Amino acid sequence: MTFRTLDDAGTIYGQTALVRVDFNVPMEAGRVADDTRLRSALPTIRRLNAGGAKVVLLAHFERPKGKRVPEMSLRPVVEPLAALLGKPVAFADDCVGPEAQRAVGALPHEGVLLLENVRFHPGEESNDPAFAAQLAELADFYVNDAFSAAHRAHASTEAIARVLPAYAGEALRRELEMLDKALGAPERPVMGIVGGSKVSTKLDLLNNLVGKLDRLAIGGGMANTFLFAQGHDIGGSLAERDMAETAREIIASAARSGCELLLPVDVVVSDRVEPGASANVRALGEVGPEDKILDAGPETLKSIKDAIDGARTLIWNGPLGVFEIPPFDHATVEAARFAARHAKTERLIAVAGGGDTVAALNHAGVAEDFTFVSTAGGAFLEWMEGKTLPGVAALAA
């Protein structure tokens, strides 16, 4: 899909841009605890200001369900955002109506204004055209810079793009370009790593990937389901035994598509899931009735590294084991560091995303070494599943 970017906006001097950002940031004691999402919005804000536009920021925070909840106000974001920008940021106590209109009218040339939580209005999540029209009254054009909300057909992500001239912001553009490099038009061979606890939550993902990848390594609890489906004894391990037939169908689909599945050939087990618990390597067929499979074994890790070594593109979602509890983080950490070394030397385009994945790469200390790490969560997963994202489709050129 081609989409409109700020390169297509033409002259913006003297105009007002309504910019959808993701400021759903972690908060502690009423203060922003992690400003990563604020930083991601800076390139777009600065580009618009440099072009002579006023910037009006639109965002959500948590789930107020269409009601005004004081504890879910975006006001605490103003001070840290102003510090990052090095200039004042105004705040409006509403995102539509007279309060918002007055704040926009008072905004100086190249000023920045943050509107109150868009989810305080029920029209946001219902994608109400009338609410979108109210938002549109505030600006001359619309910019979506929140990929993390692009999988939602909400008024601030989809309906408004039908009312105002609409463009992708700098962060959204980079996200879409990197995701296209990973799956849309990747350098081959292309490999995937998918982990996590349940096959049932990643069925669409697995079915889409086996038709697009050259190799796919499956780890975590879902690998146990595949091993069980193949007739291996998995002892007391976490698995979805009722999904065995589905796992066999995915194996068959991969074979038809020419996608090589990399399943564990050995595993790390313990009888306890706690830090410092004894970790024992078992070959398939040696897992005891009390054993819990908690990580990939050394031979499995070697096969994954070999596959990474032979790939030009890697897309990663989900850990290979219970990475939160050492020593069962070993395979995830080692594979992540191996991929990161290849990415740093540009031998590999390494793209990763999903909550647990970001946490695992941070745990391994390599998140910044990957080519791109998406923090978009649900939107990243739906994109990997091959689904159309309403917020992106609305920007189609």
Catalytic residues: 37, 198, 355, 378
> Identity (one letter) of the amino acid at 334?
E
Helix (H, G, I), strand (E, B) or coil at 144: strand
Cβ neighbours, 10 Å, residue 255 = 12
* H or E stretch at 56: strand 54-58
- Whether residue 332 contacts residue 321, with contact meaning beta carbons closer than 8 Å, is answered with yes
Phi, psi of 67 (to 5 degrees): -125, 155
Tell the residue number behind the tokens 């618009």, with chain if given.
48
What is the distance between the alpha carbons of residues 116 and 75, in angstroms, rounded to a whole number?
A: 7
Closest CA to 198 of 237, 149, 148: 237
Q: To 5 degrees, how large is the angle CA 313–CA 319–CA 324? A: 145
What is the distance between the alpha carbons of residues 43 and 126, in angstroms, rounded to a whole number?
A: 30
* H or E stretch at 141: strand 141-144
Q: Which burial class, exposed, middle or buried, applies to 245 when counting CB atoms under 10 A from its CB (0-12, 13-18, 19+)?
A: exposed
Q: How far apart are the first and last CA of the chain?
A: 8
Residues 6+ positions from 61 with CB-CB distance below 8 Å: 23, 24, 25, 72, 73, 74, 117, 119
